Amino acid sequence: MDEEIAEWRTYAGEGVLLDGFHALKHALRFGARVPVAVARDREAALALARDLAPDLTGTLEGLLREVPDRTLGTLVPRPHPTGVAALALPAPGRTERALRDREAPLVVLDNPRNLGNVGAVVRLAAGCGAAGVLTTGTVDPWHPSCVRASAGLHFATAVAHREVPELPEGPLYAFDPDGEDLRGLTLPPDAMLAFGSERHGLTDAMRERADRLVALPMRPQVSSFNLATSAAMALYHWMAGARTQ
């Protein structure tokens, strides 16, 4: 068993924690290099694979090593209910390429506070085919709780931290209830869609960088939508428009 712990520690510094079967499944599907993967019950994990990811059954048979509950608890403080954990290595250079050669909007989260929201937006970006997700401020968008909330879909899109002056070129649409109605706009493919923090909204720096302030239609007396649901509406608007052009 010490062997699995030693192997895990070899990659723990540079590796991204994949917490649970679904995170491992998505990371493998989108080409992550996974040097180590463990399961509390290997046969149960393979049964899940046969049920939910038959495309990966062979890969997982070769990869998954069974470890006792105690060992899993040593590697991951609060193991996922599926009892699966792995480490994945991000592909070097991928983010820079994705941010430069954009053919779909890039989501920018301006100083987000909630790691679950960050992960939910990464999952949205991956599912909608957005160019990626950038975050400003102090949160690490690759924090294990963000990767858990995205179900490992960080590996299906570009995710990075950038401050406002480091944002790539392109028209920036900043979302705020006082802006112009999104329904009248067509979002260009190289647009950046910026959303403010859960407590304080958009920062002054982001407002200054913005080309337009955009509002999501909302009933009077409702203060605002949740951050991740706002990103979902904006990306859906882009997808619906892109399809009708």
Ligand X SMILES: C[S@@+](CC[C@H](N)C(=O)[O-])C[C@H]1O[C@@H](n2cnc3c(N)ncnc32)[C@H](O)[C@@H]1O
Site residues for ligand X per CB under 6 A: 175-177, 195-196, 198-202, 215-216, 218, 224-227, 230
CB of 228 to ligand X, least distance (A): 9
C-alpha R_g of the chain: 19
Nearer to ligand X, 76 or 202 (CB): 202
Residue showing tokens 């399961």: 39
Nearer to ligand X, 35 or 116 (CB): 116
Nearer to ligand X, 89 or 215 (CB): 215
Nearer to ligand X, 104 or 210 (CB): 210
CB of 35 to ligand X, least distance (A): 37
Question: SS3 of 43, please?
Answer: helix
CA distance 112 to 8: 30
CB of 206 to ligand X, least distance (A): 9
98: which 2 tokens?
């994705």
Q: Are 53 and 102 in contact (CB under 8 A)?
A: no
CB of 151 to ligand X, least distance (A): 22
CA distance 38 to 70: 12
